Copies of this chain bind each other. A is one copy, B any other.
Amino acid sequence: MDRSQIHRVSVADQAASILRQRILNGELRPGTALQEVPLASSLGVSRNTMREAMRILSLEGLLKRSIHRGVAVSQLSLKDVKEIYHLRRMLEIPAVLSAKSRHEDVLPELRGALEGYERCVRARDWAQAVSFDLQFHSLLIRFHQNRRLENFYQTLIGELRMGMVLVDRRHDDPGALIPVHRKIYQLLSSGKLKDCAAVLSQHLDDSELRLSQVIGSSHPAKRTK
């Protein structure tokens, strides 16, 4: 009788969500310029509403605004990747180290994300697999029990995922991460937190390296005319 939440969301928020989804899915690739009028009419909203939506996404880091020059889908630089992984290490490793038995409600969700990931890999649905992968890591942050931190981490992951759509195409071995995530989950659920942190740390190193290589070869050193 008491529904969780009634459909009370502003149109601007919905427009932002749709746009966010398109960016995170790789439908809108980094660097793509977005014009207000065509986008607004394609979503069936007014230009002002679309501007509010774009304002939201630009504050999330997904869009980059240049005044009077329009907005474009943000493009991750190597420095960005380095920054984001620095933060991931700083946040995820203490998270698993602080995992206590009273946090057990997170374990089933971790298992769910793990299984979803494996299912997607078997189905060759890599975009969805990336989602489950990142969801798995987001759940680790829950151990901190800090809503602000979760939100911050979520925006980080959003930026990262935007760059990861580039990885999909040349992802030669998408299933290689399964045993790693399995191991993390297993060590975590059995309380071997130090070992878990070690595996996680290595996993993050590998992930950063792979993404950096793709980004680096994607848009190489700026041409100095």
Contacts and interface: CB of A to CB of B under 8 A. Distances in A.
A208 interface: no
Given A48-B48, A59-B59, A94 B90 contact: yes
Contacts of A183: none
Interface stretch (A30-38, A120-128, A132-140, A144-152): A144-152
Nearest to A61: B148
A211 interface: no
A149 B87 CA distance: 8
A138 to B, nearest CB: 16
Interface in A69-108: 83-84, 86-87, 90, 94
Contacts of A111: none
Interface stretch (A19-27, A50-58, A189-197, A215-223): A50-58
Contact of A55 (B8, B9, B52, B146): B52
A84 B55 CA distance: 26
Contacts of A9: 67
Interface of A: 8-10, 12, 48, 51-52, 55-56, 59, 67, 83-84, 86-87, 90, 94, 144, 146-149, 152, 156
Query: What are the nearest 7 A-B pairs in CB distance?
Result: A59-B59, A152-B152, A83-B146, A83-B148, A8-B67, A55-B55, A48-B48
